[in-house]
Every structure is written in structure tokens, then in C-alpha cells.
Structure 1
Amino acid sequence: MHDQPRTASPDSLPEVVTRYLKAHHAHDTATAVTAFTDQATAIDDGNTYAGTEAIEGWLNRSATEFTYTIHLADIQQTDATHYVATHHLEGNFPGGTIDLRYKFTLRDDLIERLVIEP
């Protein structure tokens, strides 16, 4: 069963992923950015943000661009450092609803890479 994604529960997520998701949902950029390594990358909507300064700028912009509700729909774990949290969003963005997969890669108990995609 190595490298096969398996369903996980919200309370089985690593603390750093939970911290990021809670802060991101609360638009608490200062806390969210502490979840990332200094060399982290985040990829969202086709754009790559490298380093915590770029990630902080992206988080600040994304927090104010649209108004939406977000619901954690599913969690998958591939191994000890790879998690996928699927969120259902509804709001005033184009299309109005979307399911987004937040793909986390961890290193040293922090987020090294985050890819957000449908």
C-alpha cells in the first residue's frame, strides 16, 4: 500500500497543515506564512510563488480578491510528507463553485510545497 493515497481524518493531519488551513480560512496571513519553510513554493491558478515573502503577498491578495465559503470535503494521505485536502468553495468568483485540491509536501514539520488546483 506504499504510495497509494488513503483517506485520512481531519484530526490525523499534521499540526502544520491544520495551522495553515485554519489561518488561511480566517485570512490570518501572518500565522499562515509561519507554516512554510523559507524555501517553500506555492502554486495557485498557474502562478508560482517562491519563498515566504512571495507566499505572504499571494496570501494577502487571495484573502481579499473574492468572498467565499470553504468546506473541507476530503483528505488523502500518500505518505508521511504528502497530503491532499480537497475543499469545496462557493462564492462570488467566476463559476460560483469549485472543488480545489490543496496538495501539501512537508519537510522538517513545515510546508515545503503547496499546489492548489481543481
Structure 2
Amino acid sequence: MPLDLPKPVAAYFTADRDRGDSDAIVRCFTEDAVVKDEGRTHVGRSAIAAWKAEASTKYNYTSEPIALENAGDKTIVTSHLVGDFPGSPIDLRYIFAFDGDRIASLEIKV
């Protein structure tokens, strides 16, 4: 059964799957959003665009959300990633916080 993801989360995973449109990822975030991934912090839409562009050119992967939970003001999505990166396959936790209908913060953890 498909997960009933919040709109900004569904838009994020759809844009991540369709890597040809990097602007689609950026539109999911607020202007001053923060992303934490692989020990690095990316602040603002331009930094987030650079982060996604680097990851998309560095690795080939698929990401499939498999679980959803709410923890206070956070939405946590577990996604199964398979690709040509070290440690593949792996399940990652995407911890989202929102500002309206956009992502204000995203932290990706093992």
C-alpha cells in the first residue's frame, strides 16, 4: 500500500526520482531551509541545489519511501535506497520540518 506522504514530502521524493529538473527539488524548500546530510549542513535554496546536484552526479540510486511517522512537529520518512554508493542498499531516515507547504528543514540519517 502506498504511503500517504504530506504534499511537500511527496513533491521532494518525486523530484528526487526525476533528477532532470533540479529546480523541482529547490521549490520544495523555503528560502532559508536547512539540510543536514553526510555530516554537512546546507543552508538556503542555492546551497540545497548544489547539494542535490552533487549527489545526483556522484551516485546513481533509487529511493523508495517505505515508512512514515510523525514525532511532534517532525515528519519522519524511512526510505530504502539502492545504488552505486558505499553501503548500498540502505534504509535512511528523512526527518522533515515544515513552514506552511514547504520544507523548512531536512535531516538525513542512517
| Aligned-partner residue type, residue 20 of structure 1 | Y
Match of 2:95 among 97, 103, 107: 103
Other-structure match for 2:69: 76
How far did residue 101 of structure 1 move? 0.5
Structure 2 distance, partners of 1:38, 1:75, is: 25
Instruction: Give the fraction of aligned pairs with identical amino acids, expressed as a percent.
Output: 35
Correspondences of 1:42-81 after superposition (within 5 Å): 42-79=35-72, 81=73
Structure 1 spans left out of the alignment, 5+ residues: 1-8
Letter in 2 for 1:111: I
- Please identify runs of 4+ aligned residues in structure 1 that moved more than 3 A: none
* Equivalent in 25, 35, 38 of residue 31 of structure 2: 38
CA distance in 2, matches of 1:69, 1:22: 11
Q: Deviations over 1:12-38 (max 9, x none)?
A: x22111111110121132111101011
| TM-score after normalising by structure 2 | 0.90
Name the count of aligned residue pairs. 108
SS in 2 for 1:16: helix
What's the Cα RMSD here? 1.4
